[in-house]
Amino acid sequence: MGKRLVYLDNAAATAMDSRVRAAMTPYLESEYGNPGAIYSQGRMAKQALESARQEVSLVLGCRPEEIVFTGSGTESDNLAVFGVARAYVAKRKRIITSSIEHHAVLRPAEYLMKKEGFESVFLKPDEFGRISPESIQAALTPETTLVSIMYANNEIGTINTIRAIADVIAAYKKKIGRGMSDAPFFHTDACQAAPYLNLNVTELGVDLMTINGSKMYGPKGTGLLYVRRGVRLEPMIVGGGQELRMRSGTENVAGIVGLARALSIATENRETESARLVQLRDHLTNGILERIPKVVLNGHSTERLPNNVNVSILDIEGEAMLLYLDEEGVAASTGSACDSLSFDPSHVILGIGRPYEYARASMRFTLGRSTTSEDIDYVLAILPPMVEKLRRISPVKLEVGGEKVN
């Protein structure tokens, strides 16, 4: 009998839903026409593309023409930040974001500051990873072009009050005599939030929103950017003018169809799956805190994604723990999969005020549709002896000081 396999890295990538694969198959095999062609195969591909756009718009509560399909969440974030900044550069050159955003937002904001003369403001979160509406309000100026704050943090799972932030921005624009079609605009990265939280853009009050397929049981290499009508973007990829002239290149019809189907399925199952995962999440969190000494929970205890558990297990290195877990069939991570080639400690853990040692000792377990209570029990059974063994051989012991740890 083989070892149990437990996949707890769903924030990095999810398994493709069989219904998504079935929806994609015709466009991978028989319906291979280019959507730009006028003959029948091309028209069929074009129809599939526009049907997917309509399907997405129903979930987001927006117009189909406000959806731009891209190749990833990173590309969508880049298009939002660079696109808005460069479209309004003649008037305003200030970007507001946070210090714990995904690097797909941080790096463009840094680039604009260093290479194109923008003022980029990186707001500090509170100890739980929340960006307060008050901090946004204090940072807004007439020169602000874009505010970009993620819906839920990809590492620690903390959920931001997106509607409250949107209201602050809207009130500021009204105060200085600007309408909806003028800056500052509000973008949110909703990649991790998409399977679990409300995505209605009108209710959220956002101008731009990023989603990708690989975080919600859809295909990798797919993403979308919602762009409210009236918001201008400078495209990053130019050529044939596909995707409303915002993203040139022959469309990935199969991937787009799969992305739309995955989003619909996630929305249909959102409430029941979220409730199920909250129970499993809390069981894992409480089990770790009860069974292992010197552990700190990172992120908010309740205002967090239903599937996210992030802890710092002190006196060990997170990478070593990953290897031990892998030997026992458990897949987890120390933070963002996009940073897995870097040995730098998590900028998110450091950003919420944790010491360097806490960042190096952080572990992220992200649950998914395949996760069972038996999986959680298995992890809770193997984790404490692993930690004990690693601590015995660890050359460095951390003095906790005044930090409250378990």
CA–CA distances in Å: residue 207 to residues 216, 224, 243: 22, 14, 18
* Cα three-residue angle 341-344-347, rounded to 5 degrees: 110
State both tokens at 279: 């129970």
Contact 189, 168 (CB under 8 A): no
Phi and psi (nearest 5°) for 158? Answer: -65, 135
Query: Which residue in 337, 338, 390, 405 is the catalytic one?
Result: 338
| Cα–Cα distance, 378 to 322 (Å, whole number) | 15
Q: How far from 142 is each of 60, 171, 174, CA to CA, in Å?
A: 29, 13, 12
Nearest by Cα to 335 from 156, 193, 191: 156
Listing DSSP states for 231-285 in one string gives -----SS-SS-TTTTTS-S---HHHHHHHHHHHHHHHHHHHHHHHHHHHHHHHHH
Apex CA 61: angle with CA 58 and CA 63, to 5°? 80
Which alpha helices (DSSP H) does 178-239 contain, by range? 201-204
Task: Tell me, yes or no, if 338 is annotated catalytic.
Answer: yes
Which residues have a catalytic role annotated?
Answer: 338
